[in-house]
């Protein structure tokens, strides 16, 4: 399932981030039951108390809910999932722009490069380039 942990950040924080990504990408779909703490520990190789801490944080954000009898579930609230997805995306964009401005690009130039790379600009640009 691909759980890897880096050395420079708390393990619980990395777990929160990785589970968030699995939720916003639909690997853990809305309303689906999450593995138990024990199962999570076995799957990730991480200490059960650390798992507990990560799940508590996800619960506080509202991404997961506890039903006392039957365990923890991904929220059905599409707005929360959407917001977190947006937040994770913005985080990636900030990182990208930081790296680009370090290389001397402006934000607009960086955006143009993305459009070129994904081929969006091609349709508009190519006719002039053909001449």
Partner 1 sequence: MSQLECVDLVKAYGGKIALDHVNLQVPKGKIVGLLGPNGSGKTTLIKLANGLLTPNSGQILVDGKKPGKDTKAIVSYLPERTYFADWMSVEQTLRYFSDFYEDFDRTRAEQMLHQLGIENKMKIRQMSKGTREKLQLILVMSRDAQLFLLDEPIGGVDPATRDYILHTILANYNPNATIIISTHLIADVEQILDEVVFIHNGKIIEHTSVDRIREEKGMSVDAYFREVFKCSENW
63-68 contact pairs (CB < 8 A, 24+):
63/19, 63/20, 63/23, 64/23, 64/34
Q: Considering beta carbons, is residue 28 or 40 the nearer one to partner 1?
A: 40
Phi/psi class of residue 106: alpha, beta or left (left: φ > 0; alpha: ψ in -120 to 50)?
beta
- Confirm or reject binding of residue 17 to partner 1 (CB under 8 A): no
Residue 28 is a binding residue for partner 1 (CB under 8 A): no
Residue selected from 49, 66, 86, 101 as contacting partner 1 according to rule CB under 8 A: 49
Rounded Cα distance, 14 and 59, in Å: 15
Told to check if 47 binds partner 1 by CB under 8 A, we report yes
Least separation in angstroms between residue 1's CB and partner 1 is 14
Asked if residue 48 binds partner 1 (CB under 8 A), the reply is yes
DSSP strand pairing (71-74 vs 64-67): antiparallel
User: Which residues lie near partner 1 (CB under 8 A)?
Assistant: 5, 7-13, 38, 41-42, 44-50, 53
């Amino acid at each position: 399932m691909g759980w890897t942990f880096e050395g420079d950040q708390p393990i619980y924080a990395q777990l929160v981030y990785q589970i968030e990504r699995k939720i916003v990408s639909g690997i853990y779909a809305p309303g689906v039951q999450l593995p138990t703490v024990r199962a999570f520990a076995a799957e990730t190789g991480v200490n059960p108390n650390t798992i507990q801490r990560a799940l508590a944080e996800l619960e506080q954000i509202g991404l997961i809910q506890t039903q006392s009898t039957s365990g923890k579930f991904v929220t059905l609230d599409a707005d929360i999932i959407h917001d977190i997805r947006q937040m994770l995306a913005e985080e990636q964009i900030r990182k990208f722009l930081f790296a680009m401005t370090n290389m001397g690009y402006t934000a607009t130039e960086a955006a143009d490069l993305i459009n070129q790379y994904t081929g969006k600009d091609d349709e508009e640009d190519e006719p002039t380039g053909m001449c």
